[in-house]
Amino acid sequence: MKIWYGTILVTTVVLTSYLVIVMGKHLPMISQDLAMSQESLKTLQEQLTQQNTLLEALQADVKALSGNKSGVSVPKPSQDDKRKAAIEALRSGFAKLTEAEAKHKQGDLTIAVDSLKASKQALWQAGDVLTSDQDALRALMTPIDVIISQWKKGDKTADSLKISTAVKTILQKLDGHS
């Protein structure tokens, strides 16, 4: 029985010695990793603090702009300015229509479709402000959609000349009133 106790005691001493040696080798690496982790954590905390400060400043700016608590009034565009912008949008739409028709004649239907879509957007925006011509501009949306559909299918027989003529007529009328 004493032999077993002696063997267990020697084994325990050998294992303990082995663990002390292994821990002695790995302890500096663990300490170094811990120090690096703490430095990284400090850096992240500093970055988070800076970002939080920036976020608070942005929130204050947004709140000031939305609430306009500074007393400074933000000028709103006048109806005349809106009308001028709408006429420019209409001119832009007409230019896009012309570009679409030119690309259609060249056989480049993909670019023609893109130009026609852009003109549709410009005409719609102009119609939002030019209420006297809104119905006429809105009435052009369906024919534009039909032409876009045909061009997408490769049908080159459809053209946008009637739409261009209608927009040109509206522009001439607006130029006469300006």
- DSSP characters over 120-175: HHHHHHHHHH-GGGHHHHHHTHHHHHHHHHHHHTT--S---HHHHHHHHHHHHHHH
Whether the model pTM is above 0.85: no
Question: Which fold would CATH assign to domain 79-177?
Answer: Four Helix Bundle (Hemerythrin (Met), subunit A) (1.20.120)
Place 10 in a pLDDT band, splitting at 50, 70 and 90: very high
DSSP 178: -
Place 71 in a pLDDT band, splitting at 50, 70 and 90: low
CA torsion sign, 150 to 152 to 153 to 158? positive
Distance CA 134, CA 96 (A): 19
Place 90 in a pLDDT band, splitting at 50, 70 and 90: confident
The token duo for 167 is 């927009």
Helix (H, G, I), strand (E, B), or coil: what is residue 103? helix
Mean pLDDT, the chain, integer: 86
Place 177 in a pLDDT band, splitting at 50, 70 and 90: low
Q: CB within 8 A of 77, min separation 6: which ones?
A: 85
- The kind and range of the H/E element at 55 are helix 2-67
**Of 74, 86, 105, 111, nearest to 170 (Cα)?**
86
pLDDT at residue 70 is higher than 60: no
pLDDT at residue 111 is higher than 60: yes
pLDDT at residue 134 is higher than 60: yes
pLDDT at residue 25 is higher than 70: yes
pLDDT at residue 58 is higher than 90: no
